[in-house]
Structure 1
Amino acid sequence: MNNTEKSFEVVNAFVCARQVSSTGCILYTFVAMLSAWVVIRVWYKLTSGQCIFEESLKGKVFLITGCTSGIGYEAAKELYGHDATVVMLIRNVRKGLECVEQIQNLYPRSDGGLRIVPVDLSSLKSVRLCARMINNTEPAINVLVNNAAIGSAQGHKASLTSDDLEEVMASNFFGHFLLTMLLLPRLRATKGSRIISTSSLIHSLHRHLPVDSLNFENEYYDGFNAYIRSKLAIVIMSRHLSRLVSVHDASFFSCNPGILATQLSRYFIRKFFGNRLGDLMYPLSMIVNKFIAKTTHEGAQTTLSLCVQKGVEQYNGGYFSDCRPAKCSPLADDIELGRCLFRETVRLVGLRETALHTQLNTASTALDAEVYCETRMYHEKNLSDEDSEEDSRSESEQDIDMRNFF
């Protein structure tokens, strides 16, 4: 055997070894991914909470934002199936009507009620009109679920609403805050009422909340950070409102639904891969999500638990995950940060705040003093002349005396 033949045999052996190695690597990767999927699914099944209840909810009224898909839809469906009256606060009326028909077909024997109220949470005017309609039609509200949320497909370019608010913060946080404030008198008048706000596990990624720049006025904009900021603000505000409002009047909670296979995933894929590549990868990501993420039914369990389970009032202001109290960002325990966030949010959504330094003597809080707020609605700047008199009268009917809240 000459040197050429020997060299050929060496090369051939090397190639064969590489092929075996590559095949082994692929097989190892496949086994590792399969094992990871099994572990994740088993972990979800073992740790995911489940809300099991059989009693009828007839006569109780639940308001839910963002319920034409995802966990909002699942919650509306389950509550209606247990004879509750569900008011669906939605942006797309056509889609809302389709959801009503679907849910009614699923539970033809339900003694509950389903109706829709249109609202664009990114518009303060729309939120006020929505609250006015609800206050005029609903004598009682048992539970308000602030669930609607959007991501950001704009990357590093902020999109502003007609109120000059950053769109993600407006839709996820500011709109819900204003809605809660306008409905709070009705909620407080209903015994055992609850306000549940959907946050996210990723809220804890931020170690601080720049209250002086909630709208990204003084910093570089990032769409993904706007989403995280909105979810952190929800947790902090929910905790702060639980300090201000007596637990005998209303309870406040925030919750984490978990990693879900929802349409919101598209926004975050676009964030990391860009719009074009993100749209191409989205179908693949949804397939992966089907295997490793929670279903919307599983994700809705914590929300449902907070809606119906008895005794959760003892965790007023708490953050829940998998149907049980969970650890949230330590910023939620910063009382001064909560105060500052409240004051700034009141200003940004167009409520007037007058500080009335009043000593609080309540056993439920560690505050030595708190700020009461006297608020009233600002007139919309863009009202037409012919509508201004009517709207002024309607606005005055919704004037809020925050001293009666707390």
Structure 2
Amino acid sequence: MNALSWSTRLLMKRQWKRLFLSTSNPCLSRRKCEKRVVKVRFSDILGQEKAQRFLRQVMVREKMPHAYLFTGIPGVGKRSTAQALAMALNCLSPQDGDACGLCGSCRKILGGNAPDFHVIRPGSNKIGIDQIREVNHGLSFAPLSAQYRVLVICQAEAMTPEAANAFLKTLEEPSPGNIFVLTATEPLDLLPTIVSRCQKVSFQPLPRGVVANWISEKKGVSQKEADIVAGLSGGSIGRALEMAENEFLENRERWLERIAELPGFPRTEAQGVAFKWAEEIKAGGTSGAQGSSLGPAAVLDIWKSWYRDLLLARAKMGEHSFMNRDFSQSLKKMSMGFKIKNLAKSFFLIDRAAMDLMENRNSALVFEHLVLELRALAGRL
């Protein structure tokens, strides 16, 4: 009974973190987030001062753990900080615990041709045993030209059970001169034995204002649009950039208007509407002259943000807590037609649909079923 209660509490904690911290599907656009925001040095990374300060202190003490676990949502600088750590450790002319960015060692890492800096990413959404075996073979030799060989495993939770067990043996018997950096969204998704052998470093979502100002300055978008994408990003610079660089905002408005209309449809018409939307989403977006570049996962993200805001509005939270602040008045008005428990159920229905898509379920059937269930929960007072 105690074990069941413990596991249930963990599940609820993870669900509610998704609800209030971010609407992001844990695998949605993760690789884009990681590749899009690759910085140079600690000083170039936005936010994450606490993580940077900890790493610099460890380097000063010269007692480097052989393995780190960087945790946090995608797009907040985990991969970039791992590169900054590798550069700082091997820099020939370090400055205040940071890399110079100019020496031969730094230039090799920046140029992508450093023999002692390796990044492992999932292939087909997983890291297989062959990738780990290849890594283990290379670790049997001393670093070629640097003081430390740094191996970064992005999305470490994507390791298959066989790969995770093989990597665990490497962690248990580390070779001198090797430092591992694992990145993951949630430590609970990794083997406890792997987590226990790593120094954990948490990366926090960035404040909405910080993301908005950065996006407005770097991408030249209006402050209003920057604020919208910053809110929807959940504190992820990577996601905010992705949304600012395409027609996301126009498509978002279109799909928000549609989901807002759902409670007004008679139940007899709901099935027809569900089928129509499901076919459009399966095709990659809405019909019409403008079209849409949004896929099924992105539409679900938008809907999750809507129901999250409805729940906060129904609980009388201020507009500052809304992700979709430009729809504040509509959210307040519409939320009064729902029970709080039905809004929570609706959010987790969308979350379940996102998981179904990750498992390669039929997207049209997933959306059709979801729309019908959301309509059934709408307006039940």
TM-score scaled by structure 1? 0.27
Greater fraction of residues in strand: 1
The normalised TM-score by structure 2 is 0.28
Structure number with larger C-alpha Rg: 1
